[in-house]
Amino acid sequence: MAPKAQWDWSVGSKTVVDLATNNDEVAWREESHASPDGEQVAAVVRTTDETYTVQVNDTLWESQFDRVWYLRYSPDGRLTALVNDGDWKLCVDEEAWEEGYGFVWNTLFSEDGSVIACSVSDSMQYGMIKDGEIWPNLFANANNFVLSADGAHTAAAVQTEPLGQAEIFKFKQGVFSVAVDGEPWERNFVNVWTPVISPSGTHVAAQVRLNLFEYTIACNGATWNETFSQVWEPCFHPKTNAIAAPVRLGGKWGMAVDGQVVWKPQFFQVWHQRYTPRGDRLIALVCPQYGRWTVAVDGQAWRTTFGDMISDLTTSPDGRRIAAVGKENERWTIIADDKAWPEMYDMCWKPVFSPNGDHVAAKVERSKKYTIVVDGKPYSKEFSECWDPIFSDDGNLILIRGIINNTYIRIVERVSTICG
């Protein structure tokens, strides 16, 4: 797939494929997936021979398999699937990785899509595969798998020692650690959760439980000096490798950076924290009042709150703007910079900022129809299916991918047309 700037950004609508056209080889078609550039729509299909393959636009892959699932486009437009032809393999643009295994799952992509990884189990041993290369060491179990944003490293929580049935005392001695590129830390913990790889690739941090009650953050195997009654997943500062994590003290949640409390524990909940891209602000989803949810910026909660939940915290690429999905009384909307969109929807997807941060858009559902909304203004057409919108590099155009009347179409629209 070409870089985004080279996609077809001509304003207008293009029919890519008529999905109603019958293919005699296809018994049924599963969920559709649109490529990032909108030029393809793909789905797992069951063939009349009772095998599985993939249909891209109106063409079937030549290969057929006992099973195909987890069809996903990488950010650079490659089409991946998990396939079984006796062994399990990851297939990229119809080319399966050479080696097959007992099971592969959980396809992961680097931020630009150039690196692809997945989880693997083989002969009751667990680990990861990155671009076809399996870890040098496998483990009795592994989970919480992660691929770094640049694709250079993989990590997971791993079980480094055998654990028999009901061996609760051995469990308390610690049999879990973090493996980075297959190499475990030297130290075990009672529990390990959510390893996170620093942008520099030099540090890996994770939540750990030291005994049944004390929680803290470990980085490259060394723990913070401070312990807490609970912690959630850590995140790295984009430039300094400082680590921020929500921590619970005295029954309330706050935020610690490198073990020091920087947000006073005053919230009923704090999670999904992240630094803005330049690292100048620390933001999170918080519960400032029991049963009410919002965004906090550097420890200050927004005034707009939601009763059901808040999710999908997002920043503009320059970090200037912040948005999230809010839910109240079973209805969803987008909140951006402490202002909720005027309309509520049956569902909202993660907000998407334009590259310059001037606009925020999201896929929404209303009465079983889907469309996209920009800055609170809905696009004029509704779809039976659609995908997240994508802005052009200058933010003036928006790519809309959707299905109307069984026809997959690709639309480029001026943002100003939607926003009025």
- The single-letter code of the amino acid at 272 is H
Taking alpha carbons only, the member of 289, 399, 411, 350 closest to residue 14 is 411
Number of residues that bind other proteins (CB under 8 A): 53
Task: For residue 181, give the nearest of 204, 154, 208 by alpha carbon.
Answer: 154
Smallest gap from residue 191 Cβ to other proteins (A): 5
CA 398 to chain centre: 22
Residue 51 Cα distances to 32, 64, 83, 228, 367, angstroms: 18, 6, 11, 52, 35
Per CB under 8 A, which of residues 47..66 are in contact with other proteins?
A: none
Residues 353-392 vs other proteins: string with x where CB under 8 A?
A: ------------x---------------------------
Binding window for other proteins (CB under 8 A); candidates: 8-16, 189-197, 255-263, 315-323: 189-197
Site membership for other proteins, residue 191 (CB under 8 A): yes
**What does DSSP assign to residue 207?**
E
Report phi then psi at 6, rounded to 5. -95, 0
CB 363 within 8 A of CB 393: no
Does 9 help bind other proteins (rule: CB under 8 A)?
A: no
Q: Is 135 left (phi over 0), alpha (psi -120 to 50) or beta?
A: beta
Piece in contact with other proteins (CB under 8 A), picked from 185-193, 197-205, 236-244, 313-321: 185-193
Residue from the set 3, 18, 48, 212 that interacts with other proteins by CB under 8 A: 212
Q: Does 281 bind other proteins (CB under 8 A)?
A: no
Min dist CB 99 to other proteins, Å, is: 16
Q: Among residues 8, 18, 133, 167, which is the contact residue for other proteins, using CB under 8 A? A: 167
Stretch that binds other proteins, among 129-137, 264-272, 315-323, 398-406 (CB under 8 A): 264-272
Distance from C-alpha of 344 to C-alpha of 334, rounded to nearest angstrom: 8
Between 98 and 169, whose beta carbon lies closer to other proteins? 169
Closest by CA position to 245, among listed 268, 228, 220: 228
Q: Under the criterion CB under 8 A, does residue 32 sit at the interface with other proteins?
A: no
Strands 103-109 and 154-159: unpaired
Among 269, 304, 407, 417, binds other proteins (CB under 8 A): 269
Six token digits for residue 51: 């095998």
Measured from the CB atom, is 251 or 420 closer to other proteins?
251
Degrees to nearest 5, angle at CA 375 with 402 and 327: 85
In whole angstroms, the minimum distance from the beta carbon of 226 to other proteins comes to 16
Residue ranges of E strands in 339-406: 339-340, 347-348, 352-353, 360-366, 369-374, 377-378, 385-386, 390-391, 397-404
Regarding 165 and contact with other proteins (CB under 8 A), the answer is yes
Residue ranges in 305-334 that form contacts with other proteins under rule CB under 8 A: 307-309, 311, 327, 330
> Is 397 in contact with 419 (CB distance < 8 Å)?
no
Find the part of the chain contacting other proteins (CB under 8 A) among 24-32, 179-187, 376-384, 401-409.
24-32
Cα separation values, 337 from 39, 77, 158, 359, 364, Å = 33, 32, 39, 12, 19
Separation CA 372–CA 343 (nearest Å): 13
Q: Name the minimum Å distance from CB 237 to other proteins.
A: 24
Residues that bind other proteins (CB under 8 A): 27-28, 30-31, 67, 69-70, 102-103, 105-106, 119, 121, 126, 141, 143, 159, 165-169, 171-172, 176, 190-191, 193, 209, 212-213, 215, 229-230, 250-251, 268-269, 271, 287, 290-291, 293, 307-309, 311, 327, 330, 346-347, 349, 365
